[in-house]
Amino acid sequence: MISTMYQLGTLDSAKAFLASLLVGIAFGFFLERAGFGSSRRLTGVFYFKDMAVIKVMFTAVITAALGLTCCIVLGWVTIEGIYLMPTVYGAYVVGGLIFGVGFVMGGWCPGTAAAGAASGKMDALIFLLGAVIGSALFNEMFALIKPLYEWGQGGVVFIYDTLGMSKGTFNIILSVAAVLMFWGCEWIERRRTGQSLGENASILKTLSVAVLTLAVVLVAVGAGRPSGEQPMGQAGGVISSESQLLEAIDMAQDHIEPEDLADRMLRRESGLIVVDIRPVIEYMDYHLPNALNIPMKDLHQTLMPYRNVGTIVLYSNGMTHPVQARDSLYRSGYTNAYILTDGLNGFIERCLTPVSLRDEIVPLEIAAKIRAWRSFFLGSEAPPQAEPATPSEPLPSSLLVDVQWLEKQLNRPDIRILDLRSQPEYSTSHIQNSLALNVENLRTNINGVGSMLQPGDMLAGYMSAMGIRPTDTVVILYGDKTQDATLAGIALERLGHASYRILNGGFAAWKSAGKPIVTDLPEIAASNYAVTKSDMFSVDYMTVLEYVRSKKGIILDVRPAEYYEGAKSNEARAGHIPGAINRPYTEDLVNVDDIPQLKPVEELARAYARLIPSENSTVVVYCRTGHQASQTFFVLKRLLGYKNILWFDAGWSQWAARQELPIE
């Protein structure tokens, strides 16, 4: 049995790049040999002058299709080992039509143009340039095209299932069609040129007989082995019956063992998507590094881009919910969703229990693995003796912490303190090992809006430079603006880094409590912070506009009242988004010794209960630049537990400047 690189998840390795280069060389060689380095010959097919395109293409398709079926029947490879593209009917129809026009107009397609350019065809080079421009154009227009791009999604579906026949029957029909097409092409060319088949005749006859014989033999072999067709249908096809689903479960194709997952996460396997479906509170206490927290009801929508791309692993504490979620995904055509055997509890027990606490005798190499897992998943390898089996000392469930708590954590290696005060303030006195950070450095200009939170990978770059690891708990200290702390918090949220805490009262609280301060700088080793795409709370103005029109959510304007009312303005227009409610962010604060602190949670809960009907209500928060709104976001989502809080980062400065958007 061959394990393909796709199956092993090593398509991004140097070995795969070399193999791709070699396959490409053979591909380019045969394209040029076939005469496809000539646009004239390629387009000849559209004018019935030169039918080589059809001859070569269908010979190649039938060779590969029958060849692959042979390999599957012989048990060399399974269809699971091959990447199968999901069908998107609408997008493919429109794409095909546009492609056809481009092909006949430009005289090339991408592969042949590369081979053509290599043989000196300048028109091929121009065509390639055009194709690069076309790709960029697609990217730029993506927001507009997305509905078309996703129009008519059918999942991975095979043509023989669509036509309601067996794979063998379809192979025979395809073979007969190919042979008829070959002879038809010869007939067209002969009529045009008047030349006889010549040497082609014997080759074509041999090919015809070989193709038809092979197709029939494959059906006979398949019929002789009743299970011969099954790997195809069950692994890749749309799940047409519940029995196939149950069979996949019976064959244990639906789960992944904790040790296997631990190894794959440890080597940072690309394409591995680990999904934590527990409530956010539990997720924040502990989760596997870089796991996405997705509520069950949002799984289909959020995981759509990963359908049959990479490997999705679902986990909860136990097994029940992941099993149900995974089956639901499987029914929708996800063939790459797995559950973690024994859940997070099992993972901790099987992978993270120190060797010294295990009843059984652990072989040396396993012990080494356990140490590696512990250091990766728990942040640091603690002395093995008295370590409990739980991942780490439980953190307080509230994200708002006080000085006493922070003081107790100072010596923990997985605690990182971010000090957001100005550079001189930091340099003259700060907490031991705390890192200075100017919160404005987390923002940049995106699409012309100057105050946007940076994309995940840029933020991950900062984290790496500061030596912060995904497993660390980050404690944020502010100077005189609580919203600085929440902006840093929302940056961490974009990275899927849920384990952070904000010191209520900021550095001033620490100082006035008389706790130790230093002036030396911390010793930091850079980390390698991996990017996660877990930001599902940021929305753009188009989304906000939809909420304005549908009136299905609440829009909270957190700016001071005079800006909301339009009495004051420092943006393109004065006023607010239609339908927005004003709740200034300062209402959530109380000054203690001139330093703002967040009000007690109970008080905040009472205030917001009057504005927001239920914890499931969708609320869009915005201010001028996203800064103040990050505080309201933190209050609603992290302190009060509202589930659907969206953050309109670009805020009033963009809304006001886009004259086409309505205002009040």
Partner 1 sequence: MTKIKYTNPYLAGIGLGLTLLLSFLILGAGLGASSGLARIAACTELYIAKAHTLSSEYFGKWGQNPMRYYLVFMLVGIFIGGLCSALLANRMELQVERGRRSSVRLRSAFALIGGVLVGFASRLANGCTSGQALSGTALLLTGSFVFLICIFVGGYATAGLFRRQWND
**CA 14 from centroid of its chain's CA atoms:** 23
Q: What is the SS3 string spanning 281-332?
A: HHHHHCCCCCCEECCHHHHHHHHHHHCCCCEEEEECCCCHHHHHHHHHHHHC
Residue with smaller CB distance to partner 1, 141 or 246: 141
Please choose, out of 22-30, 419-427, 501-509, 561-569, the segment that lies near partner 1 by the rule CB under 8 A.
22-30
Residues in 302-341 that interact with partner 1 by CB under 8 A = 305
Size of the site for partner 1 (CB under 8 A): 146
Residues in 583-642 that interact with partner 1 by CB under 8 A = none
Max alpha carbon distance in the chain (Å)? Answer: 102
Q: Residue from 75, 95, 600, 641 that binds partner 1 (CB under 8 A)?
A: 95
Please choose, out of 155-163, 246-254, 465-473, 609-617, the segment that lies near partner 1 by the rule CB under 8 A.
155-163
CB 451 within 8 A of CB 627: yes
How far apart CA 618 and CA 536 sit, in angstroms, is: 13
Residue with smaller CB distance to partner 1, 122 or 525: 122
Q: In angstroms, give the least distance from the CB of 332 to partner 1.
A: 16
106 binds partner 1 (CB under 8 A): yes
64 binds partner 1 (CB under 8 A): yes
Q: In angstroms, give the least distance from the CB of 305 to partner 1.
A: 7
Residues in 426-465 that interact with partner 1 by CB under 8 A = 444-447, 452, 454-455, 457-458
Return the H-helix or E-strand segment holding 206: helix 200-224
DSSP structural state of residue 263? H
Q: Residue from 93, 177, 357, 567 that binds partner 1 (CB under 8 A)?
A: 93
**Which tokens hold the place of 507?**
């550095």
Of the candidates 438, 430, 395, 398, the residue with the CA atom closest to the CA atom of residue 415: 395
539 binds partner 1 (CB under 8 A): no
Q: In angstroms, give the least distance from the CB of 37 to partner 1.
A: 6
Region of residue 137 (phi > 0: left; psi between -120 and 50: alpha; otherwise: beta)? alpha
Q: In angstroms, give the least distance from the CB of 288 to partner 1.
A: 21
Residues in 476-535 that interact with partner 1 by CB under 8 A = 531, 533
84 binds partner 1 (CB under 8 A): yes
Q: What is the SS3 string spanning 576-635?
A: CCCCCEECCHHHHEEEECCEEEECCHHHHHHHHHCCCCCCCCEEEEECCCCHHHHHHHHH
650 binds partner 1 (CB under 8 A): no
Q: In angstroms, give the least distance from the CB of 163 to partner 1.
A: 9
**Which tokens hold the place of 8?**
């092993």
Q: Dihedral of the CA atoms 245, 248, 249, 255 (nearest 10)?
A: -120
How far apart CA 374 and CA 40 sit, in angstroms, is: 63
CB 57 within 8 A of CB 50: no
Q: In angstroms, give the least distance from the CB of 93 to partner 1.
A: 5
Residue with smaller CB distance to partner 1, 112 or 293: 112
Q: Residue from 75, 132, 250, 450 that binds partner 1 (CB under 8 A)?
A: 132
CB 318 within 8 A of CB 341: no
- Draw the binding track, 207-226, toward partner 1 (x: CB under 8 A; -: no contact): x-------------------
Which is it for strands 415-419 and 435-436: parallel, antiparallel or unpaired? parallel
Q: Residue from 130, 467, 522, 579 that binds partner 1 (CB under 8 A)?
A: 130
Residue with smaller CB distance to partner 1, 93 or 368: 93
User: 474 forms bridges with which residues in the sheet?
Assistant: 416, 500
112 binds partner 1 (CB under 8 A): yes
22 binds partner 1 (CB under 8 A): yes
Q: In angstroms, give the least distance from the CB of 241 to partner 1.
A: 18
Q: In angstroms, give the least distance from the CB of 94 to partner 1.
A: 6
Burial, 565: exposed, middle or buried (Cβ in 10 Å; 0-12, 13-18, 19+)? middle
92 binds partner 1 (CB under 8 A): yes
How far apart CA 125 and CA 122 sit, in angstroms, is: 5
Q: Residue from 74, 75, 113, 194 that binds partner 1 (CB under 8 A)?
A: 113
131 binds partner 1 (CB under 8 A): yes
Could you give the strand order of the β-sheet that contains 554-557, starting from the edge strand earlier in sequence?
Answer: 581-582, 554-557, 618-622, 644-647
87 binds partner 1 (CB under 8 A): yes
Q: Residue from 65, 73, 172, 517 that binds partner 1 (CB under 8 A)?
A: 65
Residues in 393-412 that interact with partner 1 by CB under 8 A = none
Residue with smaller CB distance to partner 1, 39 or 483: 39
**Which tokens hold the place of 468?**
């912060």
How far apart CA 261 and CA 341 sit, in angstroms, is: 10
Please choose, out of 55-63, 214-222, 281-289, 590-598, the segment that lies near partner 1 by the rule CB under 8 A.
55-63
Q: Which amino acid is at 42?
A: L
How far apart CA 294 and CA 280 sit, in angstroms, is: 9
**CA 436 from centroid of its chain's CA atoms:** 31
Residue with smaller CB distance to partner 1, 47 or 187: 47
Q: In angstroms, give the least distance from the CB of 261 to partner 1.
A: 21
Q: In angstroms, give the least distance from the CB of 29 to partner 1.
A: 4
Please choose, out of 40-48, 404-412, 511-519, 588-596, the segment that lies near partner 1 by the rule CB under 8 A.
40-48
46 binds partner 1 (CB under 8 A): yes
Q: In angstroms, give the least distance from the CB of 229 to partner 1.
A: 12
Could you give the strand order of the β-sheet that contains 337-340, starting from the edge strand earlier in sequence?
Answer: 255-256, 337-340, 311-315, 272-276, 292-293
126 binds partner 1 (CB under 8 A): yes
User: 339 forms bridges with which residues in the sheet?
Assistant: 255, 314
Which is it for strands 87-88 and 153-155: parallel, antiparallel or unpaired? antiparallel
Q: Taking the CB of residue 138, how many other CB atoms lie within 10 A of it?
A: 11
- Draw the binding track, 162-201, toward partner 1 (x: CB under 8 A; -: no contact): x----x--x---x-------x----------------xx-
How far apart CA 106 and CA 128 sit, in angstroms, is: 10
Q: In angstroms, give the least distance from the CB of 470 to partner 1.
A: 17
Residue with smaller CB distance to partner 1, 99 or 393: 99
Please choose, out of 117-125, 427-435, 486-494, 631-639, the segment that lies near partner 1 by the rule CB under 8 A.
117-125
Residue with smaller CB distance to partner 1, 124 or 351: 124
First to last CA, the chain: 67
Please choose, out of 44-52, 296-304, 350-358, 420-428, the segment that lies near partner 1 by the rule CB under 8 A.
44-52
